[in-house]
Amino acid sequence: MKKQKITVLGSTGSIGTNTLDVVARHRDRYEIFALSAATQVDLMLRQCAEFKPVYAAMASPEHALLLAEKLKQNGLQTQVLQALDALEMIASHPDVDAVMAAIVGAAGLAPCLAAARAGKRLLLANKEALVVGGALFMQTVKSHGATLLPIDSEHSAIFQCLPEDRSSWHRRVDSLLLTASGGPFRERDPATLSAITPEQACAHPNFSMGRKISVDSATMMNKALEVIEARWLFDMEPDKIKVVIHPQQIVHSMVQFRDSSILAQLGTPDMRVPIACGLAWPERMESGAACLDFSRLAALTFEEADERRFPGLHLSWQALRAAEGTTAVLNASNEVAVAAFLEKRLAFDRIHAVNLQTLETVVPSALSSLGDLLELDTQARQAAEVIARQWIL
């Protein structure tokens, strides 16, 4: 069997390193064509030594230079890239079969679209790219014959539960049930949310994840982004996407059919499962994750999300009902607010206030291209920065 060549965008992050863990278990099937990271030079050097990619892209010239020097000192041949279009090049290169999109934030949108335009198999962890790209993203995938496979565990679960024949989904499916852990503050008194520190917010009960998604899990904005992601991935009416809190994270999500039958996908909470599923689909291969041991499983519980504690969750449906592009505004605002919180410039409970006010301030007009979306993203970021400044700590 010819080996599949893979580009991993965001290889030094939580999803990126888990992807390389799965790839390392299947060197007979996969080889790494290119890796990319923002600033983590030493980890990138180790990854280059282990996987010998043709290219490694870094986000800034200083980090690229440092990596190039270290690669040379270690006698490694990987070519270092740094340019705005470097990510697009390694995502769309003719030699590449599949692209793992594991950059965090809207920064990952352009390379995702480049991979889609080149008709690649696109493994999407970078949910913000789809939240921003919306219909344009899905049209690009469709018109270039690319294959879009979800890596977000909830969407991978739904993808695995849905009938393979996409044309029959709407006839058969009643609704999608996204499960949510509820994050570390599910039982905390809402009156004390303002005192939460970045360290507390990033201590997720079940997963070790990047800092941005950890904060999003704590506010449940992660689930809001996932509702939007599901709307596009599965072409589902927003009102048919529901959220249920399931703290144990064993049931990764569910599909309810017309006859009230519900299919769920279960497993230990380990991102290597959806990663292996996406890489091998429609085959299955070993992921490295432990199997569920039903004899030792504690009770599985489900509850409704408390709106007072998680006011941001409902912004997803609100944004989906508003003008096209409103989800991009929400995403940009949330990225700005989360960054301000992580830099200790904004209180935890103000993240929602910034998002709400940015949505009221920035109203998108007609969008027809990636350029329009990126302009809207910039405009929303600027507005959110100004709004966040009024609550500066």
Question: In terms of CB distance, is 233 or 357 closer to ligand NAD?
Answer: 233
* Contacts of ligand NAD in 96-115 (CB under 6 A): 102-104, 107
How far is 116 from 96, CA to CA, in rounded Å? 12
16 interface partner picked from Mg ion, ligand NAD, none, CB below 5 to 8 A per type: ligand NAD
Q: Looking at 4, 25, 40, 318, which residue binds ligand NAD (CB under 6 A)?
A: 40
Residue 15 touches which member of ligand NAD, Mg ion, none, C-beta under 5-8 Å by kind: ligand NAD
Long-range contacts of 136-144, Cβ-Cβ distance < 8 Å, separation of 24 or more? 136/367, 136/369, 136/370, 136/373, 137/109, 137/112, 137/113, 137/232, 138/232, 138/235, 140/113, 140/116, 141/116, 144/116, 144/117, 144/118, 144/119
Residues in contact with 49: Cβ distance below 8 Å, sequence separation at least 6, in sequence order: 74, 76
Handedness of CA 105, 106, 109, 111 (dihedral sign): negative
Site for ligand NAD in 247-306 (CB under 6 A): 271
Tell me which residue has tokens 């017309």. Answer: 258
Cβ closer to ligand NAD: 159 or 357? 159
Q: Taking phi first (over 0 means left), then psi (-120 to 50 degrees means alpha), and beta for anything else, what does residue 75 get?
A: left
The answer to whether residue 270 forms part of the interface with Mg ion (CB under 5 A) is no
Kindly tell me which residue out of 12, 19, 265, 327 binds ligand NAD, with binding defined by CB under 6 A. Answer: 12
Which residues lie below 8 Å from residue 163, measured CB to CB, with a gap of 6+? 169, 172
Residue 141 sits at φ, ψ, to 5 deg, of -60, -45
229 lies in the site for Mg ion, by CB under 5 A: no
81/271 with CB nearer Mg ion: 271
- Out of 213, 313, 332, 384, which residue is the one contacting ligand NAD (CB under 6 A)? 213
The Cα 183–Cα 309 span in angstroms is: 11
Query: Which partner, ligand NAD, Mg ion, none, binds residue 8 by CB below 5 to 8 Å per kind?
Result: none
Residue sitting closest to ligand NAD (CB): 13
Given the rule CB under 5 A, which of 153-161, 195-203, 373-381, 382-390 is the region that contacts Mg ion?
Answer: 153-161
120's tokens: 């690649």
Question: Residue 309: what residue type?
Answer: R
State the minimum distance, in angstroms, from the CB of residue 167 to ligand NAD: 28
Q: Using CB under 6 A, which of 126, 156, 326, 333 touches ligand NAD? A: 126
| Per-residue binding letters, 63-102, with ligand NAD (x by CB under 6 A) | ---------------------------------------x
Pick the closest to residue 178 from 245, 232, 127 (CA basis): 245
Instruction: Please provide the DSSP assignment of 277-335 as one string.
Output: HHHHTTS----SPPPP-GGG------BPPPTTT-GGGGHHHHHHHSSTTHHHHHHHHHH
Token representation of residue 108: 């990952």
Q: How far is the CB of 137 from ligand NAD (least distance, A)?
A: 14
- Name which of 84 and 191 has its Cβ closer to ligand NAD: 84
Q: Cβ contacts of residue 165 below 8 Å, gap of 6+?
A: none
If you ran DSSP here, which 8-state letter would residue 24 be given?
H
Q: Is 14 in the site for ligand NAD (CB under 6 A)?
A: yes
Is residue 335 close enough to count as binding Mg ion by CB under 5 A?
A: no
Select 152 or 349, whichever has its Cβ closest to Mg ion: 152
**Residue with the CB atom nearest Mg ion in the bound state:** 152
Query: Residue 25 and residue 65: Cα distance in Å, rounded?
Result: 31
152 binds Mg ion (CB under 5 A): yes
State the residues that interact with Mg ion by CB under 5 A: 152-154
State the residues that interact with ligand NAD by CB under 6 A: 10-16, 36-38, 40, 59, 102-104, 107, 125-128, 152, 207, 209-210, 213, 271
